[in-house]
Amino acid sequence: MLRTVVAIIKKEFHQVLRDPMMLRLIFVMPIVQLLLLGYAITTDVKNIDMAVYDFHRSERSREYIRSLSAGDYFKIGSSDMKLTESDIEFLKNKFRSILVIPNDFSENITNFKPVKVGYVVDGTNANSAAVALGYAGVITRNFNEKVTGFKMPIKMKEKRLYNPEAESVYFMVPGIVAVLITMITISMTSMAIVREREIGTLEQLMVTPITTPAFILGKIIPYAILAYLEMSVALLIGILWFNIPFAGSWLLLYGLSFIYILTTLGLGMFISTMTKTQQQAMFFAWFFSIFALLTAGFFTPISNMPESVQYLTHLNPLRYFMTIIRAIMMKGASIDILYPEILALCFFAVALFTLSWIRFSKRVK
């Protein structure tokens, strides 16, 4: 049994690595993905282009504009065109927001009266628009405090834990690692098994004395090893290149990853029993991966989703693994904190793996 499994694993590795392009892809993929996502996903919005119409042109109004341009939140472009023309500039995406300062600006401020300043934001990108509104609000409040001397009697003292530098990379890299393992294992295993069927070598294998369990193990173990390799490469880059901290236990992470990989390998196997061609297998794998990716809380927190979708996320094993890997890496969480997620993951692993094992054995016979 063991010898046949090893033989099949060897064959599978030969097959995967025979093609130098495949080898390159397998290692280039996590690197590219990590670099791209690490740099591209900055949900923090900066340098929002702002056109300013200052109808007051006083020291005070310029001070207000200066306080907006301090820091890299807003990039102020002065505006010589007429107000009506700015609509076209908006369409061309030249500006994301327009600020209009009325001509009674500083009189009202020095008389301790409220002043209304017009602020128009392009809402096409809902996220950036919300952030732009938020920034302007905070800056304005600080400006008011400084200029009018009116202070809020009650203050909030805030303390940020786990990622006080507010680096989105720290949060995204563990997420990317989880996504990477998911995509690679599901699509590669399902395609590898279906391939034998599509080009007809499955029949050839079946006439040999290889037993079904040996065949399955031989087919999936290489992809489990591959998943671990990809994960390690990705984590190394994350730590060496992006300097992300690793607060928790490596052993715990690698151990729990095994449970998760069992789940995704099971899913890959399950897909292979439902499909006849590699194209089909790839499609199914993608369908599952996209569902998993979008309901795992990768980009946005799950608590943000509508309640019905929140229930749906409980069907997604990646959701639990995402929580686990982030909690271990960022918060240094241990088993006593993560046990609900670990239990859920174990349930998925056992259920999916045995179910697809049984289904696959039946199909092959």
The C-alpha atoms of residue 245 and residue 248 are separated, in whole angstroms, by: 9
Q: Of these, 6, 9, 133, 350, which contacts other proteins (CB under 8 A)?
A: 133
Touching other proteins, residues 254-313 (CB under 8 A)? 274-280, 282-284, 286-287, 290-291, 294-295, 299-301, 303-306, 309
Residue 243 in the binding site for other proteins (CB under 8 A): no
Binding footprint of other proteins, residue count (CB under 8 A) = 116
Touching other proteins, residues 36-55 (CB under 8 A)? 36-37, 39-47
Residue 346 CB, nearest approach to other proteins (Å): 18
The three-class DSSP label of residue 74 is: strand
The C-alpha atoms of residue 103 and residue 116 are separated, in whole angstroms, by: 11
Cα 74-37-189 angle, rounded to 5 deg: 160
Residue with tokens 């938020």: 134
Q: Which stretch binds other proteins (CB under 8 A): 1-9, 115-123, 217-225, 351-359?
A: 115-123
Q: Of these, 17, 83, 138, 343, which contacts other proteins (CB under 8 A)?
A: 138
Residues 6+ apart with CB under 8 A from 49: 74, 75, 77, 94, 95, 96, 97
Q: Of these, 2, 91, 207, 240, which contacts other proteins (CB under 8 A)?
A: 91
Q: Of these, 327, 328, 342, 349, which contacts other proteins (CB under 8 A)?
A: 327
Residue 116 in the binding site for other proteins (CB under 8 A): yes
Closer residue to other proteins (CB): 134 or 255? 134
Touching other proteins, residues 146-205 (CB under 8 A)? 147-148, 150-164, 166-168, 170-171, 187-188, 191-192, 195, 198-199
Residue 137 in the binding site for other proteins (CB under 8 A): yes
The three-class DSSP label of residue 323 is: helix
Q: What is the strand order of the sheet 48-54 is part of? A: 74-78, 48-54, 97-101
The C-alpha atoms of residue 159 and residue 110 are separated, in whole angstroms, by: 35
Closer residue to other proteins (CB): 219 or 326? 326
Tell me the torsion sign for CA atoms 279, 284, 289, 294. Answer: positive
Measuring CA to CA, how many Å separate 3 from each of 15, 208, 218? 18, 14, 10
